[in-house]
Structure 1
Amino acid sequence: MKLEGIKVVDLSWFLPGPYLTTALADHGAEVIKIEPPGEGDPGRHIRPQDERSSVFFRNMARGKKSVVLDLKNERGRADLFRLCTEADIIVESFRPGVAARFGIGYEAVKAKNPGIVYCSISAFGQDGAYPGRAAHDLALEAMTGVLSLTLGDDGRPAIPGIPIADVVSGLHGLSGVLMALLRRQTTGKGDYIDVSMHEALMASCANVVGTAFTENKQPDVKQQRTTGGSAFYRIYDTADGRQLVLAGQEMKFVKNLLGALGKAEWVPLCEWPGAHQKPVMEFLEATFRQKPLAHWMEWLATLDICYGPVNTLPEAIADPNLLKRGAVLTARDGRKHFAPVVRFRDEPSQPLFREPLLGEHTDGMLGHRVAS
């Protein structure tokens, strides 16, 4: 596998950091997860749970090793420092300054290990206007304006279904780590990576900031091309109370559907988003309400357009395409997992679909027992 021989110390909790380090583990890195004594990583206790652990934790900890260390005492900090100086990568998600207070900040580790690639993921970055301020995904979605673009039918912001700030910051951290490892092959030196969840999510708004950048003006959300102003990027009800989406605004798709429905004369209305598309939206709303979702899925499949059903999560997991590609796997113990998304032809990933017990590897990694 691509990352065999790479050793990672994972000091992160919840989603951004563990999302990053799970990808490293799936592709062969040895990931040492540091947990506090007692209950360990809080993710172990997020429901729902199965016989071994929480579904959340197994998704974020598979293939990793668990070492319990009490960072409140000198012995625990010394053990952690030794692990860090032997590592290739450190990922931490403490508030800014905490790692340095524990004696495992970048400068301290770099002095012993110049090749270390050290990635810090925090809500607002290591410096700036909000030093030490805590935040999780929803607050960042609010602060970046993402919630102002995610409106329900009542016009109020709606809570998104996935924590996108967590995911994109984890992915930016992953790309930074891999870039630093690549550069290290030339220079022999590692680097420090400062990932701000706030900035990662703000940068994800690149396709919707047009009027904010050019006119310092909030877009009229319901009239924008991807947030309600296009008949061909929209959610429609069907006769059985389900929904489908149209999700392709290229004119070839517009012509294909409107032509098949006998409304080719309306194609010019769909060349750009806005209120002038209302007749097309109303026609499509009335049309799709006439028959159930299954009928429309079969009929739309005969046309070259972008569409999809609004699936429940169980329906989505059972999607034939995902199953055929092995994207949802069932391990020997009967538990389901998502397969790694990055697929290499020559060195495919070999994920270990098993999360560690709390402190399972402490004695083996340190050569002495730590109370847990």
Structure 2
Amino acid sequence: MKLEGVRVLDLSLFLPGPHLTMMMADHGAEVIKVEPPGGEPVREVGLKQAGHSTWFRNTHRGKRCIALDLKSAAGKAAFARLVAWADVVVEAFRPGVAARLGIDYASCKAINPGIVYCAISAYGQTGPKALRPAHDLAMQADSGVVSLNRAPDGTPAAPHMPVADMAGSLMALAGILMALLRRERSGEGDFIDLSMQDALMAWLPNVLGPPFALGRDPVVHEERSWGGNALYKLYRCADDRWLALGGAEHKFAENLLNALGRPDLVPLCHLPPGPGQDPVKDFLAATFATRTLAAWTAFLQDVDVCWAPVKTLTEAFADPHTHARGMVWTDGQGGTHLGIPIRFANEPGRINPHLDVVGESTAAVLAELGLGDKAPLPSGEGLG
């Protein structure tokens, strides 16, 4: 597999760091997860299946889990051995915590000059907000993203996808892989300061026209991406199910409106998003409300237009296409896993469904490091 031989030390918790290190494990990296004495919090968050939470299963499969007291001399010694062994360290402490524990980049680089060290935090290691704690919702709010999720009455709605967490995960993965590639050529490691807010804001190029070009906020329901374009909008069907039109290219507008017997409306779809397209929106809203989603599904099968039914999560993960792509996988204990989205023709990733209990691999890993019976097991304090 692509990352076979890459050794990763994961000190992160919750979603961004554990998700990225799981992706590395799926593609062959050896990942050791260092947990606090009480274990990774998501072990106990949400519903469980086959003895483990869904969240934990889908962020920690294939990792070896150890528990160390990083405030003890023995724990620090064991950590130093791990750093000497590792290629990558991932942590997600608030800035300053790693330095107080003596496990920051400078300390790790002194042990292993080739180490690639990724510090994931809410606001980054520098700047006025660096020490402020935040999780996904606060990140989306402070980045302007929540302001884009508005009901027709203007009320902002809580986002339902952890996009700040996942943007942080994917940007961190990209940064780590770039640093490893550069190390192959130069022999030098690197430090990655990964801010979840930076990562999220970097995902917004398609919606920044009004702020960047005009110095104003978007008028949400008049913008192309949020319902201002008639062919990029949600519509209710007769059975209170919904469908999404998701392609605003002129050819799709022509194909749909011709099929619906209203070619006269096509010129309005050439106008900019906003009120000028309201007659098309009104026509489509009234038309889609006359039939059930199933009826429209049958009708639209023969029309070359971007559209999709608005499915529930259960429906989406039961879809035959989802299964054909391998995005749902069940292990021998009945646990359900998300599949591997990066599909290589050569050396494809492979799911290892094993899930360690808290500290399961501590003794074995420490023995491999030559510490034997001197295992610095937790004594009530941990990652702090």
TM (norm. structure 1) is: 0.97
1:60 matched to 2:93:
no
Which SS does the other structure have where 1:66 is aligned? strand
The alpha carbon displacement at 1:51 in A equals: 3.6
| One-letter amino acid of the counterpart of residue 158, structure 1 | A
Asked if the contact 2:122–2:130 (Cα under 8 Å) also holds between the matched residues in 1, the reply is no
Asked if the contact 1:35–1:69 (Cα under 8 Å) also holds between the matched residues in 2, the reply is yes
User: Which residue number in structure 2 is paired with residue 357 of structure 1?
Assistant: 357
User: Which residue number in structure 1 is paired with residue 322 of structure 2?
Assistant: 322
The alpha carbon displacement at 1:169 in A equals: 0.8
User: Which residue number in structure 1 is paired with residue 109 of structure 2?
Assistant: 110
The alpha carbon displacement at 1:93 in A equals: 0.2
Asked if the contact 1:91–1:118 (Cα under 8 Å) also holds between the matched residues in 2, the reply is yes
* Cα deviation 1:189-230 (Å, max 9, x = unaligned): 111111111111111111111111122211111110001201
| One-letter amino acid of the counterpart of residue 323, structure 1 | H
How many positions carry a matched residue from both structures? 371
Q: Which runs of 4+ in 1 moved over 4 A?
A: none
Residues 113-192 of structure 1 mapped to structure 2, 5 A cutoff: 113-192=112-191
Take 1:291 and 1:100, find their aligned partners in 2: how far apart are those partners? 62
Note the residue ranges of structure 2 that are not aligned, 5 or more in a row: 368-372, 380-384
Take 2:319 and 2:249, find their aligned partners in 1: how far apart are those partners? 26
Take 2:319 and 2:78, find their aligned partners in 1: how far apart are those partners? 46
* Cα deviation 1:73-100 (Å, max 9, x = unaligned): 2222221222112100000000111111
User: Which residue number in structure 1 is paired with residue 232 of structure 2?
Assistant: 233
% same residue: 50
Take 1:54 and 1:318, find their aligned partners in 2: how far apart are those partners? 20
Take 1:308 and 1:96, find their aligned partners in 2: how far apart are those partners? 43
| One-letter amino acid of the counterpart of residue 122, structure 1 | S
Residues 308-347 of structure 1 mapped to structure 2, 5 A cutoff: 308-347=308-347
TM (norm. structure 2) is: 0.94
Asked if the contact 1:81–1:103 (Cα under 8 Å) also holds between the matched residues in 2, the reply is no
The alpha carbon displacement at 1:276 in A equals: 1.2
Take 1:296 and 1:76, find their aligned partners in 2: how far apart are those partners? 62
1:14 matched to 2:10:
no
Take 1:192 and 1:290, find their aligned partners in 2: how far apart are those partners? 58
Asked if the contact 2:20–2:170 (Cα under 8 Å) also holds between the matched residues in 1, the reply is yes
* Cα deviation 1:213-262 (Å, max 9, x = unaligned): 12221111111000120111111111111101000000010000000001
Take 1:123 and 1:251, find their aligned partners in 2: how far apart are those partners? 41
Which SS does the other structure have where 1:268 is aligned? helix
Which SS does the other structure have where 1:207 is aligned? helix
User: Which residue number in structure 1 is paired with residue 203 of structure 2?
Assistant: 204
| One-letter amino acid of the counterpart of residue 31, structure 1 | V
User: Which residue number in structure 2 is paired with residue 98 of structure 1?
Assistant: 97
The alpha carbon displacement at 1:371 in A equals: 4.5
Which SS does the other structure have where 2:194 is aligned? strand
Structure possessing the higher relative contact order (Cα contacts under 8 Å, 6 or more residues apart): 2
The alpha carbon displacement at 1:315 in A equals: 0.1
Asked if the contact 1:239–1:292 (Cα under 8 Å) also holds between the matched residues in 2, the reply is yes
Take 1:304 and 1:234, find their aligned partners in 2: how far apart are those partners? 17
Which SS does the other structure have where 1:302 is aligned? coil
Which SS does the other structure have where 1:177 is aligned? helix
* Cα deviation 1:111-154 (Å, max 9, x = unaligned): 12111111011000001111311000111111111111111233
User: Which residue number in structure 2 is paired with residue 306 of structure 1?
Assistant: 306
Take 2:150 and 2:352, find their aligned partners in 1: how far apart are those partners? 40
Asked if the contact 1:117–1:180 (Cα under 8 Å) also holds between the matched residues in 2, the reply is yes
Take 1:301 and 1:64, find their aligned partners in 2: how far apart are those partners? 44
